[in-house]
Amino acid sequence: MKNADVLKKAVERIPGAVYQGIGTARRYNTTSEHGYMVKLPGWTYPVTIDAVTGECSYDNYNGSWGNIAELDKLSQGYAVEAAKMVAEREGRECEELKLDDGSIKLVVSLGGGGYGVDPDGGAPVVGGWSV
């Protein structure tokens, strides 16, 4: 998680989460390394993300100071928002669907004005759109 814009969007997907900018977060008996800081809901101390490596550091005391599931949501949201940003920048249509198991499905159009036939049985397409 290295891109601040994508990270902010990922944070916005989690109710109660707050992006706290770049800095050094206080921990129980130490301070974090410098990086993006995100306060997750129910967490005592912010998660810190190294802006260069994208790696997270945190102190949740084996779950007592923060549910790891919230960090998983951030990772999921980042992957989704990063893919959507790429698709948008490339002018690709992108759909987001929530699946029953909690996964998120993104469908990114690859059509670029040519004709194609969907081997999965879909309708003939023009420029990525079914017609």
Q: Which residues bind another protein (CB under 8 A)?
A: 2-3, 6, 54, 69, 72-80, 82-83, 85-87, 89-90, 92-93, 95, 99, 101-120, 122-123, 125-130
Closer CB to another protein, 5 or 33, in the complex: 5
CB 31 within 8 A of CB 63: no
Number of Cα atoms under 13 Å in the Cβ half of residue 50: 7
What are the structure tokens assigned to 90, written together?
A: 């490339």
Closer CB to another protein, 21 or 114, in the complex: 114
Q: Which whole-number Å values give the CA distances from 29 to 53, 59, 72, in the listed order?
A: 24, 10, 25
CB of 103 to another protein, least distance (A): 5
Phi then psi dihedrals of residue 91, to 5 deg: 75, 25
Q: Please list the residues that pair with 97 across neighbouring strands.
A: 105
CB of 108 to another protein, least distance (A): 4
Closer CB to another protein, 2 or 27, in the complex: 2
CB of 64 to another protein, least distance (A): 21
